[in-house]
Amino acid sequence: MLHHHHQGCASVASKVGFFVPALAMLTLAVLTVAPVIAQAQGYAVSFSVVGIPAGVSTRYYVDNVLNGTMGAGETRLLNFTLGGPHTLSVDLNVSVGNDTRYQCRDNIWAFTAAGIHVFTYKAQHRLQVVSLYGSPAGADWYDDGATAYARLAANVTAGAEGVTYVFVKWEGDASGQGMISDPIVMDRAKKAVAAWKTQYRLLMSSDPVGIFPSSTVWLDEGSVTDFSAIERTNGTDARYVFYEWSGDYAGTSMEGSLKMDGPKSITAKYRAQFLLSVVFNPPQIAQAGGMPNGTWYDAGQTVRLGPVPQYIDVSSVERLALDSWKIDGAIQPGTSVDVPVDGPHRVELIYRTQYYLEVTSDYGETTGTGWYFAGAEAEYRVAYSGSDFPAKYTLAGWRLDSSNVTRTVGPNDTEVIIDRPYVIQAEWHVDYTPMWSLIMAIVLVVIMIVAVTVLAVKRPSALRNLAFSFRSGFRRRKIGAPSAGPPIPASWGACQNCGAKVSGSAEYCQSCGAVQVRSRITAEPDTETVDKRVYDYVVERRGEISLSRASKDLGLSVDDLKSSTERLKKKGRLA
């Protein structure tokens, strides 16, 4: 517009050159009215910039057309003609480097008349928010002195299988451990860095499953973690017992440790165990048995119990005798048993009480002495083996002694219920009749000898008649004897104890009562006579005889009968 005003003045001057007389008047008139005309046709504006540092300039624009640059403290004057509105603007942002700038938020001024305007800049600083994970936010330009925050959308980010990343804290020009940082005062350009750590998954389980709940733990990379397994499960007669680890850790101790340099998986392995209960019956045999009442064994084993003693002495007359084993109620004999550990088992070791029964006698041989189970019936007897001379002994009864209690029973009572130790004594009745009979016989013989002597001296004929009568009677006995054959001469021998003469068929010496051994008899019967008697005996029974019965009937031993029949067979008399 100023440019147009100078062109008008040049035109007036040329006219003055041509028209000198009127020039002075026209000049005077123009000088007089020019200011008023100019004021009536346009206007002027002035503007300045503040807030940017010295040496820093901003550009300004008139109606969006770059018109120049200016710095802080400078003022510009612009003239405009009357008419439509005009705009005056400066750069929105002026950068000075190092993430710092100056911003004029009201950088456009629209006007239609004269005026004065100040463009104000304010310092701003840039906040950078850096994070590898979690979608960071908060990075922006902030006014000097403003408060800013760095943010994360998530504090945990999944990685590969078994790997995860976990936000730890804010670093750099920020602080705090939350997803939103502590306040950041923007007095300069700043940088907030999210620090993350890597974690690896540790899977821990049991085999068989269900012994303890499986667990998943996330642990920091490079950390060393300690872990442990339960030693055993609880159970009355069945349980599981830890024996080793498998997977990324191997060992037999219940406790272990791992360095987490990657995802890990470990398994605690258990084996089944069953309780083998041992019951002692009666209880006092537990110490002698040498076995605990209950022991856990691994499944699949075979456990041998025993051997246990056959007898356990309580006293000299009382003991416990092994009866049997019972495995879950099934009886098994023997001093030891094998039990397969295929489940819980109850084993009972059974002993029974035995008492000693002693049977004694002053005479004869007793039977029944020995050990008997309590409650059993014991038989006891005595066989008299002595001589009946000079006295005869007859069993009168029994005396039973036990625990300072004595009772007497009859001779026919030969059984007792064993409920304690017993000493049973045979009691005898002594009869001296044989001795007195012998004495009387001797006396009679003496009397007879004396009588015969007297008779022979005084009456000899009477003695001869008596002898004749005796011989006649003896002949008659021989004629009337049975036809079984002539008598077999008796064999005699000497007693091995006292030397007295003893019949070959006698079992005891009549003088001293000693038992005789038949092999020592020296005399032998006449074989011809024996063979004739045996032959007649066999013929009479038509060839069918019993050796035991024939031995009794003929008065021969079984061996003699066998020898005789062999001789008769050789002679052809018997088939």
Beta 392-402 vs 405-409: how paired, if at all? antiparallel
Between helices 460-479 and 433-458, what is the axis angle to 10°?
130
DSSP 283: G
The residues pairing with 379 across neighbouring beta strands, listed in sequence order, are 415
Query: Which region among 462-466, 488-492, 538-542, 545-549 has the lowest average model confidence (pLDDT)?
Result: 488-492
3-state class (DSSP) for residue 223: coil
| Contact between residue 11 and residue 30 where contact means Cβ atoms under 8 Å apart | no
Q: Assign 542 a pLDDT band (cuts: 50, 70, 90).
A: confident
DSSP 322: E
- Residue 271: predicted pLDDT: 95
Residue 433 CB contacts under 8 Å (≥ 6 apart), including other chains = 392
The tokens for 30 are: 């123009």
Q: Assign 396 a pLDDT band (cuts: 50, 70, 90).
A: confident
**pLDDT value at 245 more than 50:** yes
- Distance (Å, whole) CA 433 – CA 390: 8
**pLDDT value at 483 more than 60:** no
- Distance (Å, whole) CA 91 – CA 97: 16
**pLDDT value at 144 more than 60:** yes
- Distance (Å, whole) CA 241 – CA 231: 6
Task: State what percent of residues in the chain have pLDDT above 90.
Answer: 57
- Distance (Å, whole) CA 102 – CA 114: 28
SS3 labels along 122-164: EEEEEEEEECCCCCEECCEEEECCEEECCEECCCEEECCCCEE
Residue 382, CB-side half-sphere exposure with 13 Å CA sphere: 24
Residue 31, CB-side half-sphere exposure with 13 Å CA sphere: 7
pLDDT one-digit tens code per residue, 415-444: 999 999 999 999 988 877 877 878 888 998
The torsion angles phi and psi of 524, rounded to 5 degrees, stand at -125, 140
CA 176 to chain CA mean position, Å: 53
